[in-house]
C-alpha cells in the first residue's frame, strides 16, 4: 500500500515536472528565434540596409530601402481596406443587426479568417492581377486588406459588446439618437480595445508573404507607382533566403530581424494599450 502510494506520488511529480518542461521548451523557442535573428541579423544591419536599393546580382552591399517603403505602401492600402470594413461591420453587428444577419456575417468572417493565406493570394491574383494583366502594389494591398477584415471585425465587435448596456441606455435617456450614442459614447468607451484589434490585425498581415508572391510580386528597384509591382520585406526575406549568395543570406537575416522586431513591438504595444483597461464605469 505504502509502496503504491509512493509510486503514485512519484508519477504525479514526474508528469507535472514534464508538463513544466513542455512549457519551458515551447516558450524558449521564442527566445531561440530572437537570439538567432539578433546574432545573424544584428551584424548585417547598417545604415545602407535602410537607405540603399538592392545591389546588382554578384555585387555585395546594397540595402532594402525599396522593400521597406513597399511594405509601408502595401500596409497602407491594406489598412484602408481592412479597417473601415472591419470597424463599421463590427458596429453593425454589435449595435444594429438582428440575430440572423449577425450570424451570417460572423460566419462569413470566421470563414474568411480561416482561409489559408495562399488561397487569398489566388483570389487576389484572379480578381485584380489578371484583369489588369499587371502585378501591382494595389493588388498586394487588396490581398492583405482582405486578411485584415475578419480579425478587425471580430475583435472590434467583442470590445463593443463589452461596453455595458447601462451606458447605451443612459445616453438614449438623455435624448441622444442611436447614431449619436454610438459615435460619442460607445466607440469612445471601447476605443482601447478597438485600437488593440486594429494593431494586432496590422501586425498579422505585416509578415504575410504568400499572398504577395502573386500580387505585389517583388521588384529590385523603386516601385514606379501604385499600379506597378513592388518589393516587400517578407517577400525579400523569402527570395534572399532561398538564393545561393552569402551576401543575400546576410541581408535576409537583417530583414528578418527588422520585420520581427516591428511585429513584436506592435504586438507588445497593442497588449499594453489593452491591459490599461477598457473604460468601464463603476456602478
Partner 1 sequence: MATTTTTVPSAGPVAGSRSFLSRLRQGDEIAHIITFLFAVSVVLVTLLLVFDLWQGSALPRHKFGFNFFRTSVWDPIFDHFGALPFIYGTLVTAAVSLVIAVPLGIGAAIFLAELAPARVSDTLEFFIDLLAAVPSVIYGLLGVFIVVPLMRQYIQPALKHSLGFLPLFQGPAYGVGFLTAGIVLAIMVIPYIISVSREVLLSVPRDQREAALSLGATRWESTWKVVVPFARGGILGSIFLALARALGETMAVTMVIGNTPAISASLFSSGYSIAAVIANELTEATSNLHYQSLIELGLVLFLLTFVLNGLARLLIVATSQRGAGMGNA
* Interface region with partner 1, contact rule CB under 8 A, candidates 52-60, 68-76, 186-194, 201-209: 201-209
User: How far is 218 from 236, CA to CA, in rounded Å?
Assistant: 7
210 to 229, contacts with partner 1 by CB under 8 A? 210, 213-214, 217
Among 63, 70, 75, 125, binds partner 1 (CB under 8 A): 125
Cell of 19: 508538463
Nearer to partner 1, 55 or 264 (CB): 264
Distance of CA 68 to the CA centre of its chain: 16
* Interface region with partner 1, contact rule CB under 8 A, candidates 25-33, 42-50, 57-65, 66-74: 25-33
User: How far is 235 from 120, CA to CA, in rounded Å?
Assistant: 16
Shortest spacing between CB 46 and partner 1, in angstroms: 19
Nearer to partner 1, 62 or 261 (CB): 261
90 to 109, contacts with partner 1 by CB under 8 A? 91-93, 95-97, 101, 104-105, 108-109
Give residues with Cβ within 8 angstroms of 185, minimum separation 6: 167, 168, 170, 171, 176
Among 89, 140, 141, 193, binds partner 1 (CB under 8 A): 89
CA-based nearest residue to 94, from 204, 200, 189: 189
Among 3, 29, 276, 277, binds partner 1 (CB under 8 A): 29
Would you tell me how many other CB atoms lie within 10 Å of the CB of residue 148? 25
44 to 83, contacts with partner 1 by CB under 8 A? none
**If binding is defined by CB under 8 A, does position 127 make contact with partner 1?**
yes
158 to 177, contacts with partner 1 by CB under 8 A? 164-166, 168-169, 172-173, 177
User: How far is 173 from 175, CA to CA, in rounded Å?
Assistant: 5
Shortest spacing between CB 47 and partner 1, in angstroms: 23
- Count Cβ atoms within 10 A of the Cβ of residue 59 and give its class: 0-12 exposed, 13-18 middle, 19 or more buried: exposed
Shortest spacing between CB 243 and partner 1, in angstroms: 10
User: How far is 64 from 237, CA to CA, in rounded Å?
Assistant: 10
Amino acid at each position: 500500500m505504502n509502496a503504491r502510494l509512493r509510486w503514485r506520488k512519484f508519477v504525479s511529480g514526474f508528469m507535472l515536472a514534464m508538463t513544466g518542461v513542455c512549457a519551458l521548451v515551447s516558450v524558449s523557442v521564442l527566445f531561440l528565434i530572437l537570439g538567432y535573428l539578433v546574432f545573424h541579423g544584428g551584424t548585417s544591419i547598417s545604415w545602407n540596409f535602410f537607405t540603399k536599393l538592392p545591389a546588382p546580382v554578384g555585387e555585395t552591399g546594397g540595402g532594402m530601402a525599396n522593400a521597406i517603403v513597399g511594405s509601408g505602401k502595401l500596409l497602407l492600402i491594406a489598412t484602408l481596406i481592412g479597417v473601415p470594413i472591419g470597424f463599421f461591420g463590427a458596429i453593425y453587428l454589435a449595435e444594429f443587426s438582428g440575430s440572423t444577419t449577425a450570424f451570417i456575417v460572423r460566419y462569413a468572417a470566421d470563414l474568411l479568417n480561416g482561409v489559408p493565406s495562399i488561397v487569398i493570394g489566388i483570389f487576389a491574383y484572379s480578381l485584380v492581377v489578371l484583369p489588369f494583366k499587371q502585378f501591382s502594389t494595389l493588388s498586394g494591398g487588396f490581398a492583405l486588406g482582405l486578411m485584415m477584415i475578419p480579425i478587425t471585425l471580430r475583435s472590434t465587435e467583442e470590445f463593443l459588446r463589452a461596453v455595458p448596456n447601462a451606458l447605451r441606455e443612459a445616453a438614449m435617456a438623455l435624448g441622444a439618437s442611436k447614431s449619436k450614442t454610438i459615435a460619442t459614447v460607445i466607440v469612445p468607451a471601447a476605443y482601447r480595445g478597438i485600437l488593440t484589434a486594429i494593431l494586432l490585425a496590422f501586425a498579422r498581415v505585416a509578415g504575410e508573404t504568400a499572398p504577395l508572391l502573386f500580387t505585389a510580386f517583388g521588384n529590385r528597384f523603386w516601385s514606379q507607382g501604385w499600379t506597378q509591382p513592388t518589393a516587400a520585406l517578407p517577400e525579400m526575406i523569402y527570395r534572399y533566403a532561398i538564393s545561393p549568395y552569402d551576401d543575400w543570406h546576410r541581408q535576409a537575416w537583417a530583414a528578418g530581424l527588422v520585420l520581427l522586431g516591428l511585429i513584436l513591438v506592435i504586438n507588445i504595444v497593442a497588449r499594453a494599450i489593452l491591459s490599461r483597461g477598457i473604460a468601464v464605469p463603476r456602478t
